[in-house]
Each structure stands twice: as structure tokens, then as C-alpha cells.
Structure 1
């Protein structure tokens, strides 16, 4: 069900109920773009049933479905329409439109063209784990994640979140795992990786379907190239691509997850149960592999049970510094680069 994950911590002070979430989402349902509307966003029933609830609970896990629609208006088409209008004015009055008038012509041309434009829709799964207090968005785009979080914060009184933060940055940890060829407990290193230099050249080395336990990879790290992406497999059950910004992409549930299940066992509830069941166990292991959680942007220390011993954190940091001076402080926000995967 989930192909990507951007993970947030939900503030302790928010204690909303499923009914409150349902009521809030119902106030901003998704409606397709009108004739002259460029973009529309809102909520749809996650089961896909007309008049269904906007928030579903499956085995205690809450699932929401965000939808957006945009009009596809190529710049070349718009510019040609503006040029036609400008030429018409010049023929009629003998003067060329000024800069301000051209902007007005552009707005006018856009209104003329929008009713004929094609539309593009995109959906996103949202998972709220109330027990672990995680908000998980099925997207690889930070800008789209920000849009959804803003919608939730505006609609749910007291709702506040912070991006998941760990004691060791994902980049430092990945550099250590590759240089030492010692992946964290429960994980194996797969055959995909991207390394990027921090200098002005910004040179990039990519490996795909290639073993990474080679001296060449270690040499790149020693030369200052740091991993921005690394493919991993967790517990022989889930494969994934971890990024330097602590995003998880290309999530694939392996055959072992479906052992003993019939092909007829599918459906919304089964998909939710499988996805949240596996990912709710993967996330704590990934956090532990990165030294445990740090302080949240909400200004509160997380519970002691979620923190890891300082000695364990220090060992990872020192090992990473010895392999090209990897930065181990708080992570920067991930770049908005890749489109979201299609749901299911």
C-alpha cells in the first residue's frame, strides 16, 4: 500500500479521536477543478466508496486519503495565446502592450485556456499510528508532504507534528555501513547506492544492480563522496531505499510477508493490515539503527524509552567521521525531487 514514507512525530498534547478527524476532513472534501480553476485539493474516502467516511480505522491504525487535481497547461501554449492577443492589440491600436498589460493578457489567456486543459490527479495515503504517535505520508516529495501537513494542522485543533529526527544523520550512518560493510542489526545492504561529493563539483556516482561490498565504494567515501541513497532490506520482509533526508522510498513487501495468505485475502483491510503491520515494526528498528531519536522540533524531549545509549550513538558518529568527515548533526529538509508513486 505504501511505496514511500515521510515520517513525523505527533505532539503529545494532541489527543484527537477518530470522530474528530472524520469531522474535520469532511469540511474540506476533494472537489474536481472547476472550468477556470487551476488546482483543487481535499480529502476522499480511503475505501473509494461514495459517501464513505473520510477516516478509517483498521486494527487501530487510522488511514486517510488525500487527493489533488491540477490543470495541465503547457507554457508554450499559454505563451502563444498571449502573443496572439498582443499582436491583435498592436494591429488595432498601433502600439505594443507594455509589461503590465502583458501580465493582464497572460491572466486573460489562462482563463481562456483552462476550460480546455487536461487534468491530472494524484492521491496520497496518510497513516496515523496513535499508539506510537507517528504520522506517515506516502510521498517522496517534501513539498507535497508540507501541503498535507498544513491541511491537517489547519483542520485539527491542537494538531502539531515535527519531522522525525535521529541522533545520527541518515547520511553519516549510511557512510559508516558502506565503509565498514556492517549494516545495522536486522538489515542487509542491497545493490543500489548514490554517492555525491560535497565540493563545488557536486560529482555523483551511482550504482544499480551492483554489489557494494567493493573497495571502489570505500575509496569514494574516503575521497569525500557521501551517500545520498542506499538500498536496504529489513528482516527479509521489506526492501527500501533510504535517503540522506531520512525519507524512505521504493518500499516493496517481499514474498515472505505473504506466506500462508491466499490471493483472495486482498482488499482494503488486508492491504492496510499488511502495510501498517510491517512498517510499524520496521520504523523502530530503523530509528534504532540511526542511534535513536533526538529532540523534536516541538521543543520537548521524547520519552526515555525511545532514546538510545549515548555510547552507541558516539560509536557510530566516530566511525562515520573516520570515513570522509560525514556530517552527523540534524538533517536538512530533503529536496523535493521525485514524483509520488501510484497508490497500491
Structure 2
């Protein structure tokens, strides 16, 4: 269910709006495929899949949503070629040698409108998990930009819930120690934080214009060479780790996790207890349960969270609606 995770912190006084009202707001913003000349369409889809029409799923106290984005990407080269044809035709018809930027802009818009219906659509969906117990928003995205867009759409939906009020804040989690700095310390000292182990994949990059990069894949990292790279100034940007022998993942220098994988000790329990009819509730309960414990441990390993008034710069806050 979650292959990646970007974390957002919501304030302690966040209150979920009535779920039936939120479901109604989601239905009003449900996904519709792109029209013939529409470059992008965004909307909510059933987390359980096409067999369901429910857009808000709850598993225990956890709330699961899914945002779908469909795009009609038109290659820039195709637009350029179409504009050039229109420019040449315009010159022949008018006898002019030069074409103003305003007319070129109009040609570009016309070219896009003519090419869009012929472009193939690309569709992707992203799962969003609201954890009202631990006060987290977790987005299944390894890109903060992509995750922020999902949260932005959630903000829009919550603002449409009758009786809602603004003022509850959600922002990307900030830690006392930067993830890149912490990973460098763990690798240089060959000592992982409590409840974690360092695995066999790593990427180190020089933070300069050249950005020279060294990657290790399925290779022991407890070697002098890794420490020497760090001493020379290279910063870890990705590091494979395992938490409590239960979940493996890759930590990035932006404090996001990718390539999340539940290990056998977790999956064996699922096989013993069985799944529900479509497996959704079981999968959601297991994944959110594991991440609910992993995330606080990871943040503690990174020195803990900075408060809203922390010294480090804070990302722009998102306003969520509360009942």
C-alpha cells in the first residue's frame, strides 16, 4: 500500500470533520478523466479500488484517501514543430519576414489545442493516510513536491466541509539533525541508531556544482572507503536501512523514506491470521501499524522534531480545516 512516505505534522488540536460530511465533499471532487483538450485532471478515487464507490476508508482510527492525477503530455518537440509550420504559413500568406512574439504565443496555444486530443493520457494515483492518533499526514510519495500537491488537494476538500474552520496547521516534518548529516555520522562511526541497522545500499554525493556521486549496491558499508568519502566532503543522499527486523526502506537526505518493504516476520503473521475479503483492511492495518511505530523511532534517530518555533527554517505551513 505504501512504497514511499513523506511525513507532514498536524497540530495536537486537529479534529477530523464528520466523516460523512468529508465523504460528501470528496464525492464532489471525485476524479473525472481528462477531456479531449484538457491537459490535466485531478480528483479523488476509491482507495479500495474500482469495485468500490467510497472515497474515504477508515481502518480503526486511521483514515485512508487516494488522489488520482491524469495528464495528457504533449512532447515539446511536437509543439515546436507545429508552431514552426504555422509561422512559415503566416509568413507566406502575409509576406512578412518577422513574426511578433504575441502571434507566436497564439500559435503555440493553437498548437497545444490541436495536439492535445491526439496525446495519450498517463494516469497515477497517490495514497494519503491521516493518522489522528500520532498527528501525522503520510503521503505515499518520495517527492516532497508531489506530496505537497496531494496535501494541497486535501486542504481544498476539507475547506468545503460545512462548518469547517481554518487554522489547523500541517507542514513537512523538520528534524533537529538533517538526515544527510545523521547518515554520515552513522556510516563514519559504523554505528546505527537504536532499533535500526544499516544495510548494503548507499549513495554519496559531493555538494558542489559537479555533484560527483558514488553508489554502493549490495555491498558492505563498514569499510574505510566509505568513511574516506565522507571525510572528503561527500554527503549521503540515500541509505538502505532496516527497522526492528520488521521493515526495510531507503532513507533520503530529505528525511523521506522509499522502497518500503515489510519483512517476513510481519508477513508471516498475516498468513497465519488470514486476510479479509479483498485484503484492503488487513493491508492497511498492518502498514499503518508498522509505520506508526517506525516514524517516531526514525524521527528520534534524527534528533527529534523541531518545534514550530525551532531555530531552523520552517517550510510554509498548510492550513487544514477542522470541524
Taking structure 2 as the reference length, what is the TM-score of the superposition? 0.88
Matched residues in 1 for 2:300 and 2:87: separation? 62
Q: How many residues align?
A: 303
Match of 2:300 among 268, 288, 295: 288
Aligned to 1:271: 283
**Aligned-residue offset at 1:11:** 2.0
**Aligned-partner Cα distance in 2 for 1:27–1:192:** 44
Structure-to-structure mapping, 1:117-196, within 5 angstroms: 117-157=119-159, 158=166, 159-196=168-205
> 1:212 is paired with a residue of what secondary structure?
coil
1:230 to 231, 234, 239: 239
Select the residue among 228, 241, 259 that pairs with 2:268: 259
* Correspondence for 1:7: 7
Give the structure-1-normalised TM-score: 0.83
SS at match of 1:259: helix
Query: 1:14 offset after TM fit, Å?
Result: 2.7
C-alpha displacement at 1:199, in angstroms?
3.8
Point out the more displaced range, 45-54 or 81-90: 45-54
Q: Following the alignment from structure 2 to structure 1, what is the Cα–Cα distance between the partners of residues 154 and 172?
A: 14
1:245 equivalent among 243, 250, 254? 254
- Contact (CA 8 Å) 1:245, 1:332: kept in 2 or not? no
Match of 2:93 in 1: 92
The answer for unaligned runs of 5 or more in structure 1 is: 302-328, 334-344
Query: Deviation at 1:200?
Result: 4.2
Unaligned runs of 5+ in 2: 160-165, 316-323
Structure 1 residue 23 displacement after superposition: 3.0
Shift in CA distance, 260/275, structure 1 to aligned 2, threshold 3 Å: closer
Measured after TM superposition, the shift of residue 33 of structure 1 is: 0.7
**SS in structure 1 of the partner of residue 72 of structure 2:** strand
In the TM superposition, what are the counterparts of 1:320-339 in structure 2 within 5 Å?
Answer: 330=312
- State the shift of 1:91 in Å: 2.1
Say if 1:152 and 1:188 are closer, same or farther in 2 by CA, change over 3 A.
same
CA RMSD of aligned residues (A): 2.0
